Amino acid sequence: MARLKRLMTEVGGVEASEKVVARGEFACPVERQSASYVVKRVVLDDAELGEFVLCRSCGSEFPPKVLNESESGQTTSLHEAFSLLFSAMIIADGVVKQPELAMAKKLLARHEVEYDMDVLVNESKRVLGDLADVLREASRHLSLGRRRLLLEGAMLIANSDKEFRVEERELIANAGRHMGFTRTGIAELFEEVDSR
């Protein structure tokens, strides 16, 4: 759309204007991470020529439908990441404990994720095998805040039985690395949990 505005100016000397009509965050297809955007409306005199999405991070322009795709991708990624990470936390130490299962179900319900944890508890190899791929994919669609929510939820599950085991810590650290957290960032999360 901005190209159309430039072309009109170059060819006919007609000056179209752009007006920001919305702002927010989305999963930028170019940067493959969360970025802020503005929706701009192109107007010529009083006629609206259309709208486009401008990524404020990389400067790329997209049709408005990219926002729907981004929202859908975020929801799917978040739900799948929550489900698999929480299932993996339950089986991390080799023992399925009722407090961990109850906490995972509570957290999933809070985020409106419908998932049969009991099925995944019985398919632990698949859960652990898919987890790294799911978390890497999720990191492309989810903001840093949502990725942090995932790790904090995993820590709540690990602590729900009052035993934060080495296997659980290692799983959380690996999950954090797959989602783009630095070792320092993960260590700070552990410190927060340990100080509570």
More reliable by pLDDT, 177 or 145: 177
More reliable by pLDDT, 72 or 58: 58
What pTM does this model have? 0.57
User: Can you identify the CATH homologous superfamily of domain 70-195?
Assistant: TerB-like (1.10.3680.10)
Instruction: Judge whether residue 125 has pLDDT over 60.
Output: no
Sheet of strand 17-28, all strands in order from the earlier edge strand to the far edge: 17-28, 33-44, 47-55, 61-62
Separation between Cα atoms, residue 119 and residue 177, nearest integer Å: 27
Instruction: Judge whether residue 8 has pLDDT over 50.
Output: no
pLDDT band at 71 (very low <50, low <70, confident <90, very high): very low
In the chain, which segments carry CATH 1.10.3680.10?
Answer: 70-195
Q: Which helix (H) or strand (E) holds 53?
A: strand 47-55
Look at residue 43 and give its three-state secondary structure.
Answer: strand
The pLDDT value given to residue 79: 74
pLDDT band at 48 (very low <50, low <70, confident <90, very high): confident
More reliable by pLDDT, 119 or 22: 22
